[in-house]
Amino acid sequence: MNSAETEFIAEKELVSIVPNFNYEVIYLISGDIGPFRAGLPVKVPIWLAMSLKRRQKCRIVPPRWMNVEDLEEVKKQELNERFFTKMPSEHYMVEAHLLLSVAADDIPRCEQIRTILKDIWDIRMSKLRSSVDQIIKTNAIHARLDHLTLMEINSIRPLLPHALDQLFRLQNGRGPSQASGSQAFTQ
């Protein structure tokens, strides 16, 4: 999976917008949205929010967690805990990136938010790297990865699974050097 696809999946998340137009309920295949009343917040998927924002048809209400105070708290917790903590959103990094890119004017102190998010990401990535090291060293056959977000999983794919595949293959004595004829063609 590439990062564009991670983004594609994150774009399905809902975000509140305040439209500046009136419209009835729209029956999308993925669910109904609206009705839109100028000035009243309504939840829509991020892909739609971004498109409306670009056409200046709405203002985006930042998700509840997207403010400096809450994120500082998340960061502190992430620093103190040995394991990964639960992020306020399954796609916190992508959501923040998307919303800050189109709606920086709707989100107060967006530069600071960006910095804190980057810090959180860095802390988590360094935890991830040491976990990966652990997994490889202890030869784990199973690992629990709670609270890792899709983007983070994606960052160790395909390296980690692939390295483990190779280890598994070597341990079971079916390395390419021993393979004969037909096995040489197996993937």
Which residue ranges make up the site for other proteins (CB under 8 A)?
Answer: 1, 8, 21, 23-31, 47-48, 51, 57, 135, 141-148, 150, 153, 157, 160-161, 164-165, 168-169, 172, 181-182, 185-187
Rounded Cα distance, 16 and 60, in Å:
6
Pick between residue 82 and residue 185 the one whose CB is nearest to other proteins.
185
Nearest-angstrom CA–CA distance, 116 and 92: 12
Closest approach of other proteins to the CB of residue 161, in Å? 4
CB of residue 115 to other proteins, shortest distance in Å: 28
Contact, 85 vs 147, CB < 8 A?
Answer: yes
**Does residue 16 contact residue 98 with C-beta atoms inside 8 Å?**
no
Token pair in block for residue 34: 């609206």
Complex with other proteins: residue 104 or 136, whichever CB lies closer: 136
Q: Closest approach of Cβ 18 to other proteins, in Å?
A: 16
Residues 6+ apart with CB under 8 A from 114: 96, 100
Residue placing its CB nearer to other proteins in the complex, 108 or 168: 168
The nearer residue to other proteins, 73 or 140, going by C-beta atoms, is 140
Q: How far is the CB of 58 from other proteins (least distance, A)?
A: 11
Biggest alpha carbon distance in the chain?
Answer: 71
